Structure 1
Amino acid sequence: MASLFAHGIVGYTFTKVIDNKSLKWLVIAAIFSAIFPDFDVIAFKLGIPYMHPLGHRGFTHSIVFAFLWAFLLAFTLGRKNKLIWFVVILLSTVSHSVLDAMTSGGRGVGFFIPFNNERFFFPFRGIQVSPLGIQKFFSAWGLRVIYSEIKFVFVPCFLILVVRFLLIKMKSKFLSQT
C-alpha cells in the first residue's frame, strides 16, 4: 500500500480541483475517504486471509465500495452540494486503490469485487509499498517509500495545485478587467 500521507494528499488535491468553495468538511471527508479502504487490515486480526474478498485490498478497495461510500457520504453530509461531494468522495476513494495498484508489493487490488475476485496491479509499479506498522515506517524501507511517494504522488499533486492556483488567479484578473 502507499502510505497514509500519499493517500491523503490525493484526496486533498481532488477536493481543491473539483470544489471551488473549499468546503472544510469535504476536505476532511475526502482525505479520510482516500485513507479509509486500508481499515480492512482489521481482517488480519479477525483471521480473514489476505486473498479473501473481505481481506486486505479486497472489497474496501473495489469500485463498488467506492460508489457505495461516495453515495452514503454525499447524501448524509453533502447537503446542497451532493454531486460535488459524490464526485470528490468517489475519486478520493478510488484513488486509494489506484495508488495501491502502482506499488511494488502486495498481491494486487480487488477492483471488481464482488463481481470478480481477481486482484490486479498496473504495469507501472514505481511506488514503494509502505510497511505495516509505525516502527517499520521509520526505517530505511520507510525512507524509500517516502522518496517514491514524493516523486510519484506529492510532486504531481503539487503541480496540479499550482496550475489550479494560477488558473484561478488568471481568471480573477481577466474578470476584473472586464
Structure 2
Amino acid sequence: MPSIFTHAAVPLALWCASERGRVSGRLLAAGVAAAMLPDADVLAFALHIPYADAFGHRGASHSLLFAGVLGLLALACARRLHAGRWQALVFVFASAVSHPLLDALTSGGLGVALWWPWSEHRLFAPWRPIRVSPFANNFFSARGLQTLVSELRWVWLPLVVAVLGWKVIQSPHGRRSDVIR
C-alpha cells in the first residue's frame, strides 16, 4: 500500500484542480477520510483475521462496493458537507476508489479485492511502480524513505503536473478560443 499520507493525494488534487470554493472544506475532509478509510482494515491483523480473507487487509474495504457505500453516505450528508448531492457522491466515491487503485499499483501484498462481494480474487495493475509501504513499526526506516521517494515520483509529481496543466487549460490566458480572437 502507499503510505496513508499519499492516499490523501487524490482528493487534495481534485480540490486544487477545482474552482476556488467549489469543493467545501468539509467535502475535502470527507474525501480525504474516504481515501484513507480502507486501510482501517489493518485492524484485521489484531483480530487474527488472515490477510487473504475477504475481511483481511486489502479485502472488502478495498472494493468498488465499499467506495459506493461511502459515496452514498456522502450523498445523504451532502447538506452537512456544504455540497450538492451529486457532487458529494462523486467526490467521495472518486476519493475512496482511488485507494484500491493506488494499492493495485504497488510492488507487494496480495492485491486488492476490487470486485468483492462478487469475487474475492485479488487484483494488481499490470504495471506496479509504487514501492509497497512498510507497516507503522518500520515506516521510519530506509525502506520507508524509499517508499516515500517512490510515492513522490509516481503519485504526487504526476498529480501536481496534472493539476497545473488543468489550471493552465482552464485559465483565461490558456484557452485557445481566447488566443484565436
Same fold? TM cut 0.5: yes
Which string of whole-angstrom CA distances, capped at 9 and with x for unpartnered residues, describes residues 120-141 of structure 1?
A: 10111110000111x4111110
Partner of 2:89: 86
TM-score (norm 2): 0.88
Per the alignment, in what secondary structure is the counterpart of residue 170 of structure 1?
coil
| RMSD across aligned positions (CA) | 2.1
Structure number with the higher helix fraction is 1
User: 1:108: how far off?
Assistant: 0.8
- What is the identity percentage for the equivalent residue pairs of Structure 1 and Structure 2? 34
Name structure 2 gaps, 5 residues minimum: none
Per mean C-alpha deviation after superposition, the further-off stretch among 98-107 and 78-87 is 78-87
Contact kept in structure 1, 2:23 and 2:83, CA below 8 Å: no
Instruction: Give me the TM-score of the superposition, normalised by structure 1.
Output: 0.90
Q: What is aligned with 1:143?
A: 145
Aligned 8 A contact 1:108 1:121 in 2? yes
| 1:74-113 aligned within 5 A | 74-78=75-79, 80-113=83-116
Deviation at 1:17, TM superposition (A): 3.4
Q: Across the two proteins, how many residue pairs are aligned to each other?
A: 175
**2:24, 2:83 within 8 Å by CA — same for their partners in 1?**
no
Paired residue for 2:158?
156
Q: 1:171 to 1:90 in 2, by over 3 A?
A: farther
Distance in 2 between residues matched to 1:171 and 1:49, nearest whole Å: 55
Q: Distance in 2 between matches of 1:11 and 1:80?
A: 15
Alignment of 1:1-178 (within 5 A): 1-17=1-17, 21-78=22-79, 80-133=83-136, 135-170=137-172
Q: Secondary structure at 2:52's aligned position in 1?
A: coil
Deviation at 1:168, TM superposition (A): 3.5
